[in-house]
Structure 1
């Protein structure tokens, strides 16, 4: 099985779904000094089991702000459009259907958009991209601004001094990439990096608690897209939703994936996953 291509954003989501780390990152971005993690409410968008477009991380700060974040290897000119569509889904979920036709203005949290890239030392440290850059007929009446931060290790990203967890995430990725350049396969590179980082106090608490899960989500064992492609090539044509579900169950049965991670990806509790999969 091929190695997972998007291990970086999977790890990013896992780390920053921890509210203490997320609050630290939000404070670094906003310049605030919030201390109460209860103010953060992580958004979940349920629908199709696996959506072709999935936002890495979005959350509300009380009823005041909504923040959407993405982690990307390089800058993507379509990020303003993608984040615009994600925001529309969040607003649609928040506002009752009946409110769309009422006369009272429906209050909405103020949106903020951030993309973190690992584009290397030659990429800009910070920049912005706007939705209007894609318009074919001028600026129009709609705008959306995305703030990009280059978080490659060794770059003078202004967020590193304010959010140690982000800096340590960057260091973790750099350690993996260094081992890959040395000729290690990704499976071994991930494993070595986990032990190195625990020893050198890099994401130590997170890795000590979630070491097995991190290895599962970043290594060769957890590549759902590739596994699905193999399943389809063998003649299973039941559609993306059913195909991905069957692949999840198969990976668990073969011992390649923990029930905890499979249930999380399926949007279920572990008990629901066991019952539905008949495990």
Structure 2
């Protein structure tokens, strides 16, 4: 009989990273590796990831309380400069829950746990070992010190990176090995086959063996969804880049046609016709280019 597989995940699709580190012992090990602490009792850690902390279909991976801090851990397989803004939304929801039974009108200062934001990156694109993203980088026309800042530390957890961190957290190291194996096999076989082969080999070699045995069917399904999504996002970014590149070429050519035409006294009608013919654009777009580069109003 065909193996029964879990039904597709709810609205939010899980990731192997989140499945692995939703386990409190694994998460405590990761926390110790990141902070240099040596906590041993997983009961000291309280996972507070909110089920409703969703923004545009994106959900914070892990949030937990420990050592008077609230840590928000996020896994990313693509570069995302908007993580500070996303984390701002997430932490706002966390704080709302944290003070839900307290009065913000109290004369006493409400104490809240200090936030820590970390992204674990394992995408195929090159990235530094460690980098920092800031909310203020998104501000337009910004000068001086920001009145609102949020810093996100990004750690590259691809195999071969951040070796010390990997050695401190065995689960993270083995997770990176599993990911590298899946990616390597997708170059020569179908995604489904690559995932199944990676799982089989990792179990045989003792890489995430217990976790994969226990959750084999779900890991297989989640991995296929995860890496298929990653592939689609790559195609989308490539298409966006090519569209932007073409737009830049069109603008440069349009500017040359308009400025040259105006300099030699060519009529507006002829310039518009030349724009439409050379760039294969509509009359309206041609008029917009003319207005932009001639400095004259459209009549």
Q: Taking structure 1 as the reference length, what is the TM-score of the superposition?
A: 0.71
Alignment of 1:194-233 (within 5 A): 194-219=199-224
Aligned residues: 218
Larger RCO (CA under 8 A, 6+ residues apart): 1
- C-alpha deviation, 1:15, in angstroms: 0.2
- Name the residue aligned to 1:259: none
Contact 2:14 2:222 in 1 (8 A): no
Contact 1:9 1:72 in 2 (8 A): no
Give the match's secondary structure for 1:199.
Answer: helix
Contact 2:13 2:222 in 1 (8 A): no
Structure 2 unaligned regions, length at least 5: 1-8, 230-299
- 2-structure distance, mates of 1:50, 1:143: 20
| Structure 1 residue corresponding to 2:93, chosen from 89, 111, 120 | 89
Give the match's secondary structure for 2:211.
Answer: helix
Contact 2:49 2:60 in 1 (8 A): no
- The answer as to 2:188 corresponding to 1:188 is no
User: Whose Rg is larger?
Assistant: 2
- Name the residue aligned to 1:11: 16
- 2-structure distance, mates of 1:157, 1:146: 20
Contact 2:76 2:122 in 1 (8 A): yes
Alignment of 1:85-234 (within 5 A): 85-96=89-100, 98-120=102-124, 122-136=126-140, 137-138=142-143, 139-182=145-188, 184-219=189-224
- Name the residue aligned to 1:237: none
Aligned in 2, Cα 1:46/1:142: closer, same or farther, shift over 3 Å?
same
Tell me how large the CA RMSD over aligned residues is. Answer: 2.8
- 2-structure distance, mates of 1:87, 1:221: 25
Which aligned segments of 4 or more residues in structure 1 are displaced greater than 6 angstroms? 221-224
| Structure 1 residue corresponding to 2:76, chosen from 69, 72, 78 | 72
Give the match's secondary structure for 1:75.
Answer: coil
- C-alpha deviation, 1:112, in angstroms: 0.5
- 2-structure distance, mates of 1:221, 1:143: 31
Structure 1 unaligned regions, length at least 5: 225-279
Contact 2:53 2:90 in 1 (8 A): no
